[in-house]
């Protein structure tokens, strides 16, 4: 198809488009799910196709097809032209792209063991072993585990001369114990909720998760939650562990710094953002302890890549520096608003979707505390662990998160576990109440495989580096 791609780009140039790119993608996926001692599902999927994105007469057009042939590519190119013509009926300003360096390159994500070459029996056995341990007590009504692997081969070519091949391997796994007693349902996950933890690594990442080694603890904590007291309603100090901080960063910093949201193009579905253009370099987003970066170059991060889907090289940029809001996630089109170049965050779920600004690895930079010292330094509060529910308003201000488990902290000591903990707040007030972040010993890059955005909906794989952090005067316990 390389020749067909080149010929199609030449064809589009002859049609006098201002810009065109073609992405051809081939993806293989394997999912394994076990539940209550049975293999619930093993499935594989192969998906391929190409998408053509153009600017003609200052308006956007995009068309795509799963049929890989030169004739189909020509048909789809003409369809993209027809669509751009339709878009031009109501354009406001001419669609234009900020300049970018043009690359001919190749990127391959690093891994040691190809999970697609690991015998299926070995992968099944690992999940069954871990989930059997979860089932050692009858109160665990559902013991489940899952593994997901994706291998994506991407080719990007543009009328500007870019020609980039990328090969990205992703692996993830997790276990979940659900305890039921009458009307009470409680759960614990490991290593994270949302199907576990994920990375752009190979099977060695799965081996390193130690699923079975954590199963006994997960089971016992789920059971303990059934008889645990409910988290009380109060304003208190919270220490929030890394996996929940990852989701906090995702919802309250990652999404609102997406410049397309800020400019209003996602408003009808996901909403807009309180981090408007006038607040750049002025808003005191958080306390001085809070620094947040977007780093697509982080080795192994689920949001890592060589180039984004506009051919812009992966970068590390600052979003919040010592509490001050200093940057957005940008695309080539939106960066022009800031007189900047794109910082390379445009990604599409697949060949049949147009790239949007998506989070890469959005990281709360580590602080200086050891977790034990932070608990010892806390007179009264709760330690909250692992996400259970999530909701935030359409400008990303009012949030409410539920967690699986909360431990009371009294006079510097971790005490009894509580259930049904929910905390809520307003984003900048919450981040300004942060007075401590744990150090790199406690910092981990959490892969999230389910970030939704766009119409048609696109699910993106992103990640967040985070360590436990402490917040003062946060409202907890509004669930009952």
Partner 1 sequence: MIGKEKILEILNSVLKKSEADQSEALYIGGESGLTRYANSYIHQNVSEHNSKVFFRVALGKKIGVCSTNSFKKDDLLKTLSSAQQIASHQRENPDFPGIPDKQKSVKLKTYFKKTADFSPIQRAEIVKNICDEATKQKLTVAGSFSTGQSEIAVLSSHGLSAYQPLTSASINLVAMSDDSSGYAEGLNRDVSLIDFEELTQTAIQKCLDSKKPKGIEPGEYDVILEPAAVGNLLEWLCTIGLGAKQYQEGTGFLCGKMGKKIMSENFTLLDDGTDESGVPFPFDFEGVPKKKVIFIEKGVAKGLVYDSQTAYKDKVKSTGHSLPPPATEGPIPLNLFVRSGDSSLKKMIESLEKGLLVTRFHYINGYLDTKNALMTGMTRDGTFWIENGKVKYGVKNLRFTESMLKAFSNISLISRQRKIAVPWWGDIGAIVTPAMLIKNFKFTGKTEF
244 to 273, contacts with partner 1 by CB under 8 A? 263-269, 271
> Does the protein bind partner 1 through residue 339 (CB under 8 A)?
no
Q: How far apart, in whole angstroms, are the C-alpha atoms of residue 242 and residue 465?
A: 8
Stretch of 118-126, 234-242, 288-296, 318-326 contacting partner 1, by CB under 8 A: 118-126
> Does the protein bind partner 1 through residue 390 (CB under 8 A)?
yes
Among 8, 9, 20, 49, binds partner 1 (CB under 8 A): 49
Least Å from the CB of residue 140 to partner 1: 11
Q: Which is nearer to partner 1, 114 or 368 (CB)?
A: 114
Least Å from the CB of residue 456 to partner 1: 6
Least Å from the CB of residue 60 to partner 1: 6
Among 402, 447, 449, 468, binds partner 1 (CB under 8 A): 402
Q: Which is nearer to partner 1, 59 or 451 (CB)?
A: 59
What values do phi and psi take at 5, rounded to 5? -65, -45
Among 161, 441, 455, 473, binds partner 1 (CB under 8 A): 455
Cα–Cα distances in angstroms (integers) from residue 114 to residues 118, 251, 268, in the given order: 7, 32, 41
Least Å from the CB of residue 71 to partner 1: 13
- Of 423, 422, 418, 465, nearest to 440 by C-alpha is 465
Helix ranges (H only) for 135-263 are 203-208, 211-226, 242-249, 259-262
What is the x/- site pattern for partner 1, positions 180-219, by CB under 8 A?
x-xxxx----------------------------------
Q: How far apart, in whole angstroms, are the C-alpha atoms of residue 361 and residue 246?
A: 10
3-state secondary structure of 196: coil
Q: Which is nearer to partner 1, 113 or 185 (CB)?
A: 185
Please list the residues that pair with 474 across neighbouring strands: 236
Two structure tokens written together for 78: 């003409």
The answer to whether residues 102 and 67 touch, using CB atoms and an 8 Å cutoff, is no
Least Å from the CB of residue 366 to partner 1: 29
Among 63, 228, 314, 462, binds partner 1 (CB under 8 A): 63
- Helices and strands, number each (H, E), in the chain: 10, 23
What is the x/- site pattern for partner 1, positions 294-333, by CB under 8 A?
----------------------------------------
Footprint of partner 1 on 70-109 (CB under 8 A): 76, 79-80, 82-87, 89-92
> Does the protein bind partner 1 through residue 227 (CB under 8 A)?
no
Q: How far apart, in whole angstroms, are the C-alpha atoms of residue 179 and residue 219?
A: 8
Concatenated DSSP letters for 155-208? EEEETTS-EEEEEEEEEEEEEEEEEEETTEEEEEEES-TTTSEEESS-HHHHHH
Q: How far apart, in whole angstroms, are the C-alpha atoms of residue 310 and residue 314?
A: 11
Q: How far apart, in whole angstroms, are the C-alpha atoms of residue 198 and residue 5?
A: 33
> Does the protein bind partner 1 through residue 433 (CB under 8 A)?
no
């Amino acid at each position: 198809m390389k020749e067909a791609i080149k010929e199609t780009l030449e064809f589009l140039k002859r049609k006098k488009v201002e810009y065109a790119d073609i992405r051809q993608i081939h993806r293989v996926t394997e999912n394994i799910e076990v539940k209550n001692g049975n293999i619930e599902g093993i499935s594989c999927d192969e998906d391929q196709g190409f998408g053509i994105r153009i600017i003609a007469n200052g308006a956007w057009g995009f068309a795509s097809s799963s049929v890989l042939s030169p004739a189909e590519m020509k048909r789809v190119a003409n369809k993209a032209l027809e669509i751009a013509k339709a878009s031009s009926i109501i354009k406001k300003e001419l669609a234009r792209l900020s300049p970018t360096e043009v690359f001919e390159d190749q990127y391959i994500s690093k891994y040691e063991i190809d999970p697609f070459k690991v015998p299926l029996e070995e992968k099944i056995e690992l999940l069954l072993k871990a989930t059997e341990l979860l089932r050692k007590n009858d109160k665990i009504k559902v013991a489940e585990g899952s593994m997901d692997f994706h291998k994506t081969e991407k080719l990007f070519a543009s009328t500007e001369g870019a020609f980039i091949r990328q090969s990205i391997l992703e692996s993830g796994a997790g276990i979940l114990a659900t305890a039921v007693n009458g009307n009470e349902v409680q759960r614990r996950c490991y290593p994270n909720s949302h199907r576990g933890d994920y990375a752009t690594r190979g099977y060695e990442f799965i081996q390193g998760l130690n699923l079975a080694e954590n199963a006994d603890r997960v089971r016992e904590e789920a059971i303990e939650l059934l008889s645990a007291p409910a988290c009380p309603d109060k304003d208190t100090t919270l220490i929030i562990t890394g996996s929940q901080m990852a989701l906090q960063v995702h919802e309250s910093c990652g999404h609102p710094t997406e410049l397309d949201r800020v400019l209003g193009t996602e408003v009808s579905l996901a909403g807009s953002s309180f981090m408007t253009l006038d607040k750049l370099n002025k808003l005191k987003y958080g306390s001085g302890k809070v620094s947040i970066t977007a780093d697509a170059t982080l080795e192994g991060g689920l949001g890592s890549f060589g180039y984004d889907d506009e051919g812009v090289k992966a970068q590390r940029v600052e979003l919040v520096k010592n509490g001050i809001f200093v940057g957005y996630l940008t695309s080539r089109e939106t960066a022009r608003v800031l007189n900047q170049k794109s910082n390379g965050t445009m990604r599409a779920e697949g060949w049949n979707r147009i790239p949007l600004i998506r989070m890469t690895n959005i990281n709360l930079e580590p602080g200086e505390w050891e977790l034990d010292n932070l608990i010892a330094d806390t007179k009264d509060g709760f330690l909250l662990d692992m996400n259970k529910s999530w909701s935030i308003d359409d400008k990303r201000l009012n949030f409410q998160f539920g967690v699986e488990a909360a431990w009371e902290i009294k006079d510097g000591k971790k005490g009894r576990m509580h259930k049904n903990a929910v905390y809520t707040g307003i984003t900048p007030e919450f981040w300004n109440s942060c007075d401590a972040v744990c150090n790199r010993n406690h910092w981990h890059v959490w892969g999230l495989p389910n970030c939704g955005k766009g119409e048609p909906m696109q699910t993106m794989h992103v990640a967040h580096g985070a360590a436990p952090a402490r917040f003062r005067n946060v409202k907890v316990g509004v669930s009952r």
